[in-house]
Amino acid sequence: MDERRRVVLRGAGATGALAAALAAGLLKPERVLAATWDENAFRKKDVADALKIIGADDAVASKEVVLDVPEIAENGAVVPVEITSHVPGTTSIAVVIDKNPFPLTSRFDFMEGALPYVKLNVKMGQSSNIRVIAEAGGKHYVAMREVKVTIGGCGG
């Protein structure tokens, strides 16, 4: 799909090279954004660092952000998560699992026409809090639930 552009991005590495590519008109800004993967945020191992880098370290707890998860997961390989933001003007939702080796699991950006809703399956290494952060008008709103990952079966 966008393989050539990805190669350019990967190869560019430093932002300077990317800026140069943009200036040279090789890439349109909007298309660059489409393939961006926020490596810096996804590689953070500490939840506070991950929250900080996505600008959510001062997020306000909000009942407008609805997080539906089972409180007990029989297997950490698949934990279903359903999220709806009722915060007006929500433009993105991020899903963070505090105790995972890399807490930030995903980020969804909603354009014109999309409802701020997503359902997905995440992996959890152990029992942990899951928090979802909705962004609206530059502010962050958060909802959090604890999910217990249990041991099932005979273990044999």
Q: How many CA atoms lie within 13 A of 76 on its CB side?
A: 15
Q: Which of 25, 137, 138, 156 binds another protein (CB under 8 A)?
A: 156
CA 27 to mean position of chain CA atoms: 25
For residues 22 and 30, the answer to whether their CB atoms sit within 8 Å is: no
32 scored as a contact of another protein (CB under 8 A): no
Q: What is the DSSP string of 52-71?
A: HHTT-TTPEE-TTEEEE--S
Binding mask 59-88 for another protein (x = CB under 8 A): x-x------x-xxxxxx-xxxx-x------
Main-chain phi, psi angles of 99, to 5 degrees: -95, 5
106 scored as a contact of another protein (CB under 8 A): yes
- State the residues that interact with another protein by CB under 8 A: 1-3, 6-7, 10, 33-38, 42, 48, 51-52, 57-59, 61, 68, 70-75, 77-80, 82, 97, 100-102, 104-115, 117-123, 129, 131, 142-146, 148, 150-156
